[in-house]
Amino acid sequence: MRSYDDPCGLARALDLVGERWALLVVRELLLGPKRFADLRRGLPSVSQNVLSQRLRDLETAGVLRRRVLGPPADARTYELTEHGRRLEPVLLELARWGSRTPLTSVAELSAGALVLALRTTFDQRAAAGMSATYELSLAGELLRAEVADASLEIARGRPERADAVLRADVATLRSLMFGGRALDDALRDGDIEVGGDRAAAERFLALFPRPALATAPPG
């Protein structure tokens, strides 16, 4: 791997995770282990060779590890180490900062990227007094979202009990949360299914205001 040859802690960190695609690989693993094919789906623009190299680099750096699931599948997966997990607050702050810059890509978000967007735009004031659990089914990803004490927790898996269930693709949920699309329109078009408490679902969708763009200082 290339090095900045700079003793600064920031430079040493970038020596390990500053290569193109490296932090996006970490983003895709925040919700838990993934197979190589799952990572390719979450990062459709990266070539197989580059992704393989980034995985090797991150494994060498101690950011992730390979694990083989037991039979009958014997599937190889990649997961973050405890060292790699410590990058999570860094990614959240970078995503929060980046969300205030102009959007230049027309590509769709992965489920992992949408979860990162939800965590960085969550409005604690709007969630004050709320206590609800949601099941989100997004393009093959089953997620559990819990809103309580003005905080948001999202993890992979199905909740034991859900106040509302939302089944949609990532593009639909993104349009409802950040694009100003009305839930009635998405329901009428068959782009989303809502189970359980409709009012609870609407409250959840309203917890993620679109970030305002940062303005550059004059002069």
Residue 114 structure tokens: 């949408």
Tens-place pLDDT, residues 57-96: 999 999 999 988 766 666 789 999 999 999 999 999 999 9
Pairing of strands 141-148, 64-68: unpaired
User: Residue 204: its pLDDT value, please?
Assistant: 97
User: Residue 212: its pLDDT value, please?
Assistant: 86
Report whether 201 contacts 140 (CB < 8 A).
no
Domain at 9-98: CATH code: 1.10.10.10
CA distance 219 to 197: 51
Name the stretches of the chain with pLDDT < 50.
none
User: Residue 214: its pLDDT value, please?
Assistant: 83
Architecture of the domain made up of 111-205: 2-Layer Sandwich (3.30)
User: Residue 74: its pLDDT value, please?
Assistant: 67
The CATH 3.30.1050.10 domain(s) of the chain lie at: 111-205
The CATH 1.10.10.10 domain(s) of the chain lie at: 9-98
Terminal CA-to-CA distance of the chain, rounded, Å? 39
